[in-house]
Amino acid sequence: MQIFQHYIGGEFSEGAAQFDSLDPATGTPWARMAEASVADVDRAVAAARNAFFAPDWADMTATARGKLLMRLADLIAENGDQLARIETRDTGKIIRETSAQIAYVAEYFRYYAGLADKIEGAHLPIDKPDMEVWLRREPVGVVAAVVPWNSQLFLSAVKIGPALAAGCTVVLKASEDGPAPMLEFARLFDQAGFPKGVFNVITGGAEVGAALTSHRDVDHVAFTGGPETARHIVRNSAENLASTSLELGGKSPFIVFADADLDSAVNAQVSGIFAATGQSCVAGSRLVIEAGIKDDFLARLKAKAEAIVIGDPGDMATEVGPLCTLRQRDHAASVIEASIKAGAKLVTGGAALERDGFYFPPTILDCTDAPDAPCLTTEFFGPVLSVTSFTDEAQAIAIANDTDFGLAAGLFTQNLTRAHRMIRRIRSGIVWVNTYRAVSPIAPFGGHGLSGHGREGGMQAALDYTKVKAVWLRTSDDPIPDPFVMR
């Protein structure tokens, strides 16, 4: 059993309790994790608050912060194999994905390292002749970052990078369903030379999350997860009036017109829903296909889905691994059963695999004649694709927008004017045209509706971790007149 501890104030420490983390590939314990108490939350926030005001961080130049972030990026790249192995073991995410993703995580930190000394204020052309007025961008303060288990190093990078670049300090709560990668990641902050307390990591369940997000010394909450937890966080933030950024779930439409490059569209759809075992907020979980090509497209999808290699997530040959938890596996099975009862037709998959671990096969449900099937509206967080068809552009848009989510959408067509019309009318924060799941540190990422608010990635994310201070300087040498003397 490997042992993982909290990282608070630059030191590793045991929590108030411990819990075992299960290997999703076997369903058996493999590591013991520290579990925080409310007192541990208080210690972590105090460490972050003290570090925020300490001269070695508060007086550090933005250029120097950028150099620390660049050193951290180098360490992530150097330790990528170890971080990837731990993430695969603790979450079931296949090694070929964790390895590639961690390499790109380093690029996110490099991007924000370069942005650190480019967060600028502004001079205002004020309407007073004897005044100079300018705006300063200052760090918002202590950031509570709450991340789920899926892609957590990436989902942490898009919070930690801009927050530290702006001069904030961070307390990160790793998911209790797979915290090992973040607790291991904390070791790199020591090596990079960050002042103690600038970055802290704890883990635990709902009580820990509530204590952190409602803490009076937390100034901003950055959360990735589900809408129901987000509602609790918003209510918690009423206690400290912290600002929030919420990157939540999705039920993203993947729209294919008959004129599309169908080979590319099939490959993108397979990647969009079955990569990461469907455990992605932007999973293209609703195929919206032009009716005339539906049967051909589904036949191609079925063949590719059934050829996917399911196996040990630590094997580079594996293409789909287990789900992270038994809870997810059971949830997928129950929604599929209800959808079939509602008239959905099972194309392939549909039942948990009879093997150790939390394995569920790539599954396709044809809902053309089942508009009320729950699979069309439920976020599975698993490898389950729901299929509907359309006959014209207006119907495609109506189906795509028939959701409370608004995170991402995919659109495949060779008609450029149609693409522009669709882009304007699809209600989502991201639209991919003739591609899917592309990301970059340069581009913002986020949605609206039940997909949350705020953006991660790009310059805007760094600005979201700042507040504006207006500075007024009187330039006249004349005395300020007595306001009570009549003239």
- Catalytic residue positions? 247, 281
Neighbours of 131 (CB within 10 A): 13
- Return the C-alpha torsion angle 337, 338, 341, 342, nearest 10: -140
Nearest residue to 376 via CA among 290, 274, 254: 254
3-class DSSP assignment, residue 410: strand
- Contact of 287 with 322, CB cutoff 8 Å: no
3-class DSSP assignment, residue 195: coil
- Contact of 250 with 281, CB cutoff 8 Å: yes
Using DSSP bridges, classify how beta strands 384-390 and 363-366 pair: parallel, antiparallel or unpaired: parallel
Distance CA(252)–CA(413), nearest Å, equals 17
Q: Give Cα separations from 358 to 93, 205, 388 (angstroms).
A: 12, 21, 28
- Contact of 243 with 221, CB cutoff 8 Å: yes
Distance CA(452)–CA(248), nearest Å, equals 5
Could you write out the DSSP letters of every residue in 344-404?
-EEEE--S--SSSSS----EEEE-TT-TT-GGGT---SSSEEEEEEESSHHHHHHHHT-SS
Neighbours of 465 (CB within 10 A): 27
Q: Where are the alpha helices (DSSP H) in 19-173?
A: 38-53, 55-58, 62-78, 80-91, 95-115, 152-166
